[in-house]
Amino acid sequence: MTETALLSVRDLRVAYRTGGGRMVEAVRGVDFDLYPEQTLALVGESGSGKSTLGLGLLRLLPRTGHITGGEVVYRGSDPEGTDVLRMEGSRLRRWRWSEVAMVFQGAMNAFNPVLKVGDQFADTMRAHLPRQRLGKAQVRERSAESLRAVRLEPGQVLDSYPHELSGGMRQRALIALALILEPRVLVLDEPTTALDLLTQRAIVDMLQELRAERGFSMIFISHDLALASELADRVATMYAGRIIESGTTPDLFRAPRHPYTVGLIRAVPPVRAGAVEPVSIPGAPPNLAQLPPGCSFAPRCGHATDACEATDPALRTVEARPAGQPSHEAACLHWESVRLDTAPAAAQDGTPNDAPAKEVAQ
């Protein structure tokens, strides 16, 4: 992995306009770097802001969504580097797909149901490569190549309507469509949700192989920690619109330092009979329009003290590493006492636990 980031995100903020003209911040100051050939997983409960972050990076937010601050820089060290938030019109459209492509949640919705899959491939190529004046045969050959790369039989897929394909085939076809212009970054938003476990596994294996063959980077958005741990080099946990922990996959899964990450890991159902039973995180995510003062996870956290209600902690390094080595960061005042195998019970009524932070042996 080289040291130069492909995508650098600094203090990114996204807000939605809600009824009554109020703005609610769904992404509240996110920083990260994505390196060539790296896979970054964004994990977190529903509503934590993962999709909003992914859509914001590509400037694909719905009309009510607005980027209200921060920076997104693509290949900043390159003379042709791009300030994504300043790009407009055809330049932005060309950048999307040819440099950074997105695979959306739910392949059925992402394809136009009344167009054959082959026509949708052709439309995409012609819209994004207008100067190449691709002929029909060239378009078909390139589409077929991309479909073969995702282990689909082009003859079967190109002349079908989306509903004629199985869910797994549709999702593969969508990945083939995203990769057709050979982007350097692929953003995948819950790409395997709604598929059975075996199909999910096959798609994750295929993504690994494609990444090894082609060398693109991925941002993998998922609430499925098991899939994220298999695919990602680095994992960032999101809560209430912020990254509250970030580290290499082994750091995050073996030695998490934020109680929320611990809660997510402990909530994963066991694969084997007899393994530790899952424990869900008490309470519910906060209403973004009425965030509690201090740390927004404190009302659900067994480690919380008075200090957590007063201070909203920033991400800080929790493991010293030599310069240039991947960092491990967590936004928790009590990170030193947080362990995967020790999880103090949170107050069941959802109020912060006033007891001093301490470890409770399970």
Ligand X SMILES: Nc1ncnc2c1ncn2[C@@H]1O[C@H](COP(=O)(O)OP(=O)(O)OP(=O)(O)O)[C@@H](O)[C@H]1O
Which residues bind to ligand X, rule: CB under 6 A? 16, 18, 26, 44, 46-52, 62, 64-65, 223, 288
Cα within 13 Å of Cα(75), Cβ side: 13
Instruction: Please give the Cα distance from 263 to 283 (Å, whole number).
Output: 12
Q: Which is nearer to ligand X, 157 or 281 (CB)?
A: 281
* Closest CB 127 distance from ligand X, rounded Å: 25
Q: Are 28 and 13 in contact (CB under 8 A)?
A: yes
* Closest CB 333 distance from ligand X, rounded Å: 24
Q: Which is nearer to ligand X, 151 or 223 (CB)?
A: 223
Q: Which is nearer to ligand X, 54 or 302 (CB)?
A: 54
Q: Nearest CA to 106 among 174, 59, 161? A: 174
Instruction: Please give the Cα distance from 291 to 131 (Å, whole number).
Output: 50
Q: Which is nearer to ligand X, 118 or 241 (CB)?
A: 241
Instruction: Please give the Cα distance from 335 to 247 (Å, whole number).
Output: 14
* Closest CB 21 distance from ligand X, rounded Å: 13
Q: Which is nearer to ligand X, 15 or 338 (CB)?
A: 15
Q: Are 72 and 57 in contact (CB under 8 A)?
A: yes
Burial grade of 161 (CB within 10 A; 0-12, 13-18, 19 or more): middle
* Closest CB 26 distance from ligand X, rounded Å: 3
Cα dihedral 360→47→37→90 (10° resolution): -160
Residue 74 vs residues 65, 71, 87, 261: alpha-carbon distances, Å: 21, 10, 11, 29
Q: Which is nearer to ligand X, 62 or 89 (CB)?
A: 62
Q: Which is nearer to ligand X, 28 or 75 (CB)?
A: 28
* Closest CB 321 distance from ligand X, rounded Å: 28
* Closest CB 138 distance from ligand X, rounded Å: 37
* Closest CB 55 distance from ligand X, rounded Å: 8
Q: Which residues contact 287 (CB under 8 A, 6 or more apart)?
A: none
Antiparallel, parallel or unpaired: β 329-330 and 242-248: antiparallel
